Amino acid sequence: MRKNKVEKFGILTSGGDAPGLNAAIRAVVRTAISSYGMKALGIEHGYRGLIDGMAHELLLDDVSGILTRGGTILGTSRESPFKKLEFDPETGMNDVEKILAQYKKWELDALVVLGGNGTNTTGAHLAKAGLNIIGLPKTIDNDLVLTDTSFGFHTAVSVATEAIDRLHTTAHSHDRIMVIEVMGHKAGWLALYAGIAGGGDVILIPEIPYNIENIAKHLKKRQKQGKIFSIVVVAEGAMNKEESMMDKKTFKKTRKEMKNSIGYRIAQELEEATGLESRVTVLGYLQRGGTPVSADRVLATQMGVEAAHMLYRGEFGKMVAMQEGRLLGVPLEEVAGKIKMVEKTHPLVKAAREVGTCFGEKDEDE
């Protein structure tokens, strides 16, 4: 390709959908077309569209009015071309080779990929294979390394917080323990933020293994103080002390054998340990959907504009990141395959403990 000169680029969204994707698409396309005269090709359904040749040109009219829309106008999938490298008997190529061929066929000078860990890891692999890649960080889990925040996260926190607020009233009315399960398989940022914002009495995250007896002790202490209801916020990847000692294979097997999700198990355990009636609400995909809040619209716009500038400057093999209020490009190879975890000493964890929140750790209430 022409060095440091992009005339035509592809853009795709991959992985789970999240509020802010359309705002980011709009920002990249508008800036690239209006400021630099580039052509944008919208690739449909993530990397699957790049493999199967599904795409259409994006004009300014195509991205008009999408700032406030949830989801993605390009569609998405969880396709990962590097996970299966079987050869297609019809073409004699595997999925990676199809991507390289399609990139060349469409005469692309660069590719902008919007997504989370899997998407940007695939982007890093494609960059090593010789493609000009720029990544944008989208995830409601906020678990991408080297960026302080990712678009989609603020909206998910807002949705989860509103749900906790509503459940407070019914918990108070019926003297119940209300368990609210939020997303977060490996990192507990969403549960931590929403739990603090919603006044959760207990917050359980993957990074801090819990002991059910300690949680029960905390809730009984509240009961003695006349607080006859409690809010327990649980990340879907939360684990107890025993599970934290398991290897990955054993842990996955244990979770598959569970009849319901972790929220239901914790509710049952707490009901048995405290004698208090417990109810569960699993927010699920509600956290992904709907109109992005203003913070996500602003962040997605900033990052999308910066991605267009990086296209013009020829800064490839990087992901747009926000660090201490400053936008910059970080190497995709340093993002690939890594997860930003909540540290036990994180200021938010400390703040939550100071206001009386229980994380289920041993001796924390003694």
Cα separation, 260 vs 179, whole angstroms:
14
Q: Which of 17, 95, 109, 141 is catalytic?
A: 141
Among 117, 81, 120, residue whose Cα is nearest residue 100: 81
- The DSSP result for 44-74, as a single string, is TTHHHHHHHT-EEEE-GGGGTT-TT--S-TT
In the numeric block, the tokens 């469409």 are attached to: 106
In the numeric block, the tokens 């409690």 are attached to: 230
> Looking only at Cα atoms, what is the longest distance across the chain?
72
Cα separation, 265 vs 350, whole angstroms:
27
Cα separation, 305 vs 26, whole angstroms:
9
Q: Which helix (H) or strand (E) holds 312?
A: helix 294-313
Residue 141 annotated in active site? yes
Among 70, 82, 58, residue whose Cα is nearest residue 140: 70
Count other C-beta atoms under 10 Å from residue 285's C-beta.
10
| Catalytic annotation, residues | 141
